Amino acid sequence: IILGGLCAAAGLAVATLIPVWQAALLGYALVGAGCSNIVPVCYSAIGRQKTMPESVAIPAITTVGYAGILIGPAAIGFVAHVSSLEVAFMIVAVMLLGVAIGGSQLRT
């Protein structure tokens, strides 16, 4: 998760800050490569935790994921409307750095 979050954050920063299409292509490839492992590893960690029963923990995490799918685009659009799309994407990049930092807590 740490490497995935860092890779995705770097990719989004590259795609946002470098104004050529080749950089955007490389940046979004890095975002895809970085994000592709985060959800499966999170579900695996949820299955290993002992704080909540699996029958409660997995639906809770799934609900949070679906909430992100619903709220994320609206929030990005709102920030882009108020400021700019670059600012909105850089906020997402910073949040992906937060995922990388939070990933250090999942090590067992």
Letter string b/e over residues 45-68, b meaning 16 or more CB atoms within 10 A of that residue's CB: bbeeeeeeeeeebeeebeeeeeee
User: With 0-12 CB in 10 A as exposed, 13-18 as middle and 19+ as buried, what is 24?
Assistant: middle
Answer with the residue of higher pLDDT: 70 or 46.
70
Give the Cα separation of 37 and 99 in Å (integer).
12
- Residue 107, pLDDT score: 61
- Residue 34, pLDDT score: 94
Residues 53-63: tens digit of each pLDDT: 989 999 999 99
Residues 62-98: tens digit of each pLDDT: 999 999 999 999 999 999 999 999 999 999 999 999 9
Domain ranges of the chain: 2-106
> How confident is the model over 16-25, as a mean pLDDT?
96
